[in-house]
Amino acid sequence: MTIRLICLDADDTLWHNMRFFDGTQSALAAMLAPFADEPAARAALAACEIRNLPHYGYGAKGFTLSMIETAIELGGDRLPVAVIADILAAGRRLMAHPVELLDGIADTLDALGRRAALVLVTKGDLLHQEAKLAASGLGDRFAGVEIVSDKTPDVFRRLFDRHGVAPHEAVMAGDSMRSDILPTLAAGGWAAHIPQPLAWSHEQADTPADHPRFRRLTRLADLPDWIDVIA
């Protein structure tokens, strides 16, 4: 069986991401310390993020709006206006954080590119994701870039069709069980899960049991060997 299309997640698969969000959450908790302890502030923000996903989608901009809403919920009338300004500044820093590639990513992409066409499949704010890809220096290695509002089985089916491959000829690799792995398997593709620390609880899900098209890998550099096994 030949793999003709390799789909790759971006955030925390190619470059670091969640550690910047985690640092921003810590900064927010410090701002809100007069109104709630850090676990309570983080829990309130997490609930607010999930509540706002249908309105703002994924990404740093929606996250910043959720931080502001959380601050207002916890601080109420006692919340100083200066805190809102500090949150906006933290959001801008999050948008501008440096793109730091995971170890060995460039060489791994070169190895994968010798096996099949590469397509970047990521979700979030269009402008921010495009800026991160440009800053990464990896753009020329991809035959296509798909920035989507969410990753669902239908999104992957349309993606496979658009790139002219059958589902069983495509593999998706990423760090999110919920967004990268389960919808790809449901669409008929192969899926490699590469867990990363600080994973967002919203992106976690049960691991498929004994699925013939699923593999958990320690690092992206292990993906070329698995593709060779599939073939």
Strand ranges (E), 93-217: 117-123, 144-148, 170-174, 190-193, 214-216
Q: Convert the pLDDT of each residue in 49-82 to its tens digit.
A: 999 999 998 999 999 999 999 999 999 999 999 9
The answer to whether 45 and 72 are in contact (CB under 8 A) is: no
| Residue 192 φ/ψ, nearest 5 degrees | -115, 120
The answer to whether 105 and 14 are in contact (CB under 8 A) is: yes
pTM check: above 0.85: yes
**In the numeric block, which tokens belong to residue 178?**
């919920």
Task: Give the separation between CA 193 and CA 123, rounded to whole angstroms.
Answer: 17
Confidence of residue 124 (pLDDT cuts 50, 70, 90): confident
Question: Dihedral (C-alpha) 65, 68, 70, 73: value to the nearest 10 degrees?
Answer: -130
The answer to whether 45 and 22 are in contact (CB under 8 A) is: no
Is residue 169 classed as helix, strand or coil in its secondary structure?
helix
Q: Average pLDDT of the chain?
A: 95
Beta bridge mates, 6: 118, 171
pLDDT at 210: 87
**Domains of the chain and any CATH numbers:** 5-15+100-230 (3.40.50.1000), 18-95 (1.10.150.240)
Among the residues of 103-206, which ranges form H helices? 105-113, 126-136, 153-162, 182-186
Task: Indicate if the pLDDT at residue 191 is higher than 80.
Answer: yes
Give the H/E segment covering residue 8: strand 5-8
Q: Convert the pLDDT of each residue in 211-228 to its tens digit.
A: 999 999 999 999 999 999
The answer to whether 159 and 188 are in contact (CB under 8 A) is: no
The percent of residues above 90 in pLDDT, for the chain, comes to 89
